[in-house]
């Protein structure tokens, strides 16, 4: 039983997927003491909100496990009043959604007191590549100016490569870390281990495909 159970314990031990995620998350650390006055704004990539039907059913924001993508922008906006917040995220699902991700983000930020005039919304993108290309085409946006790029730390390698390929001048501002500096061997969870493997392998495959197709 010990030998037959060993593959499962290895597969769902969080130590192994954490090592893969850690290698992705460490590639683009945030600058230690950034001069926020030199940046035009913060680009926040979608993926942090629950589906539209959840928002429609309740009079409050519904965020998911990547909520830090949304919340990490708020201190930056408070510290530097000249910054614009560019949120990029369109419609997901097979049948579309009543509220785009950008509209959900707008409701979240305005509800917390961020002036609407500081928001730039891109509401059609469905992929990281579309995030970069469609955001660059927004009226009043100059991608050659310095921008902070805010997304999950494990997604940052693909995001940085994609935005730079599209002509953006971006500095990483990672959030939503999934792996710590080290993971004890005793951390074992069927659900957590499987979820972390899914995230890590999806991102590695996505980065490989983007490079192969010239999008990163």
Give tens-digit pLDDT for 144-193.
999 999 999 999 999 999 999 999 999 999 999 988 777 655 665 667 77
User: What is residue 68's three-state secondary structure?
Assistant: helix
Q: Where are the domains of the chain?
A: 39-212
Instruction: Determine how many CB atoms are found less than 10 A away from the CB of residue 13.
Output: 20
CA distance linking residue 66 with residue 46, whole number of Å: 9
Beta-bridge partner residues of 150: 44
- Give me 188's structure tokens: 């074992």
The pTM for the full model equals 0.90
Answer CATH for 39-212 from 1.10.3210.10, 3.30.465.10, 3.20.20.70, 3.40.50.620: 3.40.50.620
Ramachandran angles phi, psi of 188, nearest 5°: -135, 125
């Amino acid at each position: 039983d010990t030998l037959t159970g060993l593959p499962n314990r290895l597969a769902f031990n969080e130590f192994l997927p954490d090592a893969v995620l850690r290698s992705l998350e460490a590639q683009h650390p945030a600058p230690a003491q950034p001069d926020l006055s030199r940046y035009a704004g913060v680009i926040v990539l979608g993926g942090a909100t629950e589906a539209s039907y959840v928002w429609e059913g309740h009079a409050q924001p519904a965020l998911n496990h990547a909520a830090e993508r949304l919340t990490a922008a708020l201190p930056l906006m408070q510290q530097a009043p000249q910054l614009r917040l560019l949120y990029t995220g369109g419609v997901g699902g097979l049948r579309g959604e009543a509220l785009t991700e950008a509209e959900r983000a707008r409701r979240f930020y305005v509800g917390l007191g961020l002036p609407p005039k500081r928001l730039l919304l891109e509401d059609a993108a469905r992929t990281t590549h579309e995030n970069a290309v469609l955001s660059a085409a927004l009226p009043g946006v100059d991608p050659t100016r310095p921008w902070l790029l805010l997304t999950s730390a494990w997604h940052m390698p693909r995001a940085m490569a994609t935005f730079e390929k599209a002509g953006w001048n971006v500095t990483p501002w990672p959030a939503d870390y999934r792996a710590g500096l080290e993971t004890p061997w005793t951390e074992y969870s069927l659900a957590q281990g499987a979820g972390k493997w899914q995230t890590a392998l999806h991102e590695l495959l996505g980065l490989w495909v983007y490079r192969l197709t010239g999008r990163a």
